[in-house]
Structure 1
Amino acid sequence: MGLLRTWMGAAIFGGVPSTVHALLTGRDALAATKAAGTLLGRPGVARGVLAHVGVSVFWTAVLAAVDRRRPLGVAGGALAGALVAAVDLEVVGRRYPAVRALPRGPQWADHVAFGVLVGASLRASRRARESTLD
């Protein structure tokens, strides 16, 4: 249950930076979601949500596996989020014009936020487990 909660929180709130940026600059707040749809064939909100679910589940599982060997915490989560951004946006994403067209800064901020949220949530879960063992 803890990993599900970790994933949900990070997947939902990790997109806050780009959403706020879009709203403040008059851009489409769903642009990133629509662009993610191109990973599944073509842009669109429904496909984008599915793509985001798949990608965020994958990265949550990867970060949880790393955290088991070396606890991430907030700082480690931020670094991990930046590494995820490099892979998602600069390696995979550059093959998708809709992803490439997104403003870089807000997208990187989303990924760092995702990593911070995963790292913080995993740390909180670990501390809760440890306190029940005492």
Structure 2
Amino acid sequence: MNTVVRAGAVAAVVSGVPSTAHAMLTGRDVLAATRAAGTLLPGRRDRPGVAAGLIAHVLVSAGWTCALAAVARRHHLGVARGAAAGLAIAVLDLGLARRAYPAVSALPRVPQVLDHLVFGAVTGALLDRPHRTDQGTTCTTSPGCSEL
């Protein structure tokens, strides 16, 4: 599996842990964030839904993974810089979404920011990780590596 696809898939899955844990600990609906994400899809602003939320989450995660992969081609990300990128993504994503989407605005802010931090940290870490090529050699982010 391609390094970028793997990084995005893993990050997309684990990035929901903070908000899910918060919902469980506070007795909130654990699928509220997923439903709210569904309102981001065109025509669904006032119609939250789990399936739509999963689709929106995959699309948004894929877009940000591609953006981070483009940065990682030229700059070492790692966990710390990935987390910083996640924070920047949170400011942009949540800043825009909270203004335009009531379901997103209704979510507790801190767990959502933590989700973004986890996404960035995991993506940054996995994009920087060397992997095995089909030829059995180790490939890193050096200029001769064709991992992306």
Larger radius of gyration: 2
1:88 corresponds in structure 2 to 93
Deviation digits for residues 12-31 of structure 1 (CA, Å, limit 9, x no counterpart): 00110000000000001111
Tell me what 1:33 maps to.
34
Aligned length: 132
Q: Cα distance 1:66–1:126, how it changes in 2: closer, same or farther (>3 A)?
A: farther
Larger % of helix: which? 1
1:23 aligns with 2:24: yes
Alignment match, 2:121: 116
Aligned partner of 1:11 in structure 2 is 12
The equivalent residue for 1:77 is 82
**How big is the shift at 1:69?**
1.6
55-64 or 69-78, larger mean C-alpha shift: 69-78
Partners of 1:29 and 1:71 lie apart in 2 by 34
Q: Percent identity?
A: 56
- State the alpha-carbon separation in 2 of the partners of residues 100 and 49 from structure 1: 18
> Unmatched 5+ residue regions in structure 2?
133-137
CA deviation map 1:81-122 (0-9, x unaligned): 000001110123321000011000000000000000000001
Please give the per-residue CA displacement for 1:49-69, whole angstroms capped at 9, x wherever unaligned.
000010000000001101112
TM-score relative to the length of structure 1: 0.93
Q: CA deviation at 1:3?
A: 1.1
**TM-score scaled by length of structure 2:** 0.84
Say which SS state the counterpart of residue 29 (structure 2) adopts: coil
Distance in 1, matches of 2:117 and 2:80, equals: 10
Deviation at 1:71, TM superposition (A): 1.5
